[in-house]
Amino acid sequence: MCGIVVVYSVNGDTSRTIPMAIGASKYVKHRGQQGAGVCVITPEGTVMHHSGVGAFDAVIKPTDIEKMGRDHRLAMVQCRWGTYGGYHENNVQPIVVNSSNDIPVCVVHNGQFILMPDLLSQRDLTDDIESDTLLFARLLARYSGNDWDSHVVSVLSKTLGAYSLAISIHDVLFLTRDSYGVRPLYLGSLDGAYIAASETQAITAIGGTIIREIGCGEILKIDTSGLHVLVKGNGHQRHVCEFESAYLCRPDSMMQSFNGNRSLFHARFRFELGEAVALESPVKHAKMVVGVPD
If you classify domain 3-244 with CATH, what class do you get? alpha beta
**Domains of the chain by residue range:** 3-244
Is the pLDDT at 211 greater than 90? The verdict is yes
Cα–Cα distance measured from residue 70 to residue 92, given in angstroms and rounded to the nearest whole number: 24
- Residue scoring higher pLDDT (203 or 43): 203
pLDDT, residue 256, reads 55
pLDDT, residue 159, reads 86
Is the pLDDT at 116 greater than 60? The verdict is no
The pLDDT-based confidence of 260 (bands split at 50, 70, 90) is very low
Tell the burial category of 291 from Cβ atoms under 10 Å away from its Cβ (0-12, 13-18, 19+): exposed
The whole-number average pLDDT for the span 98-116 is 86
Beta strands in 100-241 (DSSP E): 104-114, 160-169, 172-177, 186-190, 193-197, 209-213, 219-223, 226-231
Q: How much of the chain, in percent, has pLDDT values that exceed 70? A: 83
